[in-house]
Structure 1
Amino acid sequence: MSDCIFCKIIAGSIPCNRVYEDEEILAFHDIHPTAPYHILIIPKHHIATVADLTTTEDALIAGKLLVVAGQIARTLGFAEKGYRLVFNANRDGGQEVYHVHLHLLAGRAMSWPAG
């Protein structure tokens, strides 16, 4: 998608502070963090929202987002202490960028509701 900011990051036309990258996934620090660690984990293939995850291939990539989140948590040293994973879906769910992304939040105690 030419107007998607995450697609532009994937293409390299917008810089990011990468944490993880492979052929299917990119993870980078959020530029407006809400926790000491706020990492966005995205598929390199554009999928607008969680509601658009409809195929077996989509299920595999969604699962891989979760696996990568665990790897990042272990690598950065906060897996044992804990972290929060959040998908926002569509406007009322708080989604601002319409490219599926998983928020990985850590580095402080999380409250509920989310904050």
Structure 2
Amino acid sequence: MSYDKNNIFAKILRGEIPCKKVYENDHVLAFHDINPQKKVHVLVIPKGEYIDLNDFNSKASDKEIVELNKAVTHVANLVGAKDKGFRALTNIGSDGGQEVPHLHFHIFAGEKIGKMVS
């Protein structure tokens, strides 16, 4: 599968669709989900064209990998999840529930999350 340059996250990165930004650096953008599933629901995405975590880990530079991992924790702290905890989740492929073909981590926080899988 090749990267779809017209997916919603690519459009957000190009500024074609607005977002409620939480954090940004040279490699990462984090913003509030428009359809939150929990009290706090933020998405953290790399700025590069990566379909999923498999694609990212095989093609991204070491700097991009480090920056994305650091950003997940940093964003969780920015949204107040440092003390009570949070869940960081990425879906891969159709069986994994991935809906947008651009790597993204969901940060859920602000309330008890519950079981991992039901």
Give your verdict on TM over 0.5. yes
Structure 1 residue 30 displacement after superposition: 0.6
Q: Is the deviation greater in 48-57 or in 95-104?
A: 48-57
Structure 1: runs of 5+ lacking an equivalent: none
C-alpha spacing 1:60/1:94, structure 2 compared with 1 (3 Å): farther
Structure 1 residue 92 displacement after superposition: 0.4
> Out of 13, 16, 19, which is 1:13 matched to?
16
Structure 1 residue 114 displacement after superposition: 4.2
Tell me if structure 2 keeps the 8 A contact 1:49–1:89: yes
Residue 42 of structure 2 is matched in structure 1 by 39
- Same amino acid, percent of matched pairs: 37
Secondary structure of the 1:47 match is coil
Structure 2: runs of 5+ lacking an equivalent: none
Q: Deviations over 1:25-57 (max 9, x none)?
A: 000001111111100000111101122121461
Tell me if structure 2 keeps the 8 A contact 1:65–1:102: no
> Out of 92, 103, 106, which is 2:106 matched to?
103
How many positions carry a matched residue from both structures? 114
The amino acid of 1:92's aligned partner reads D
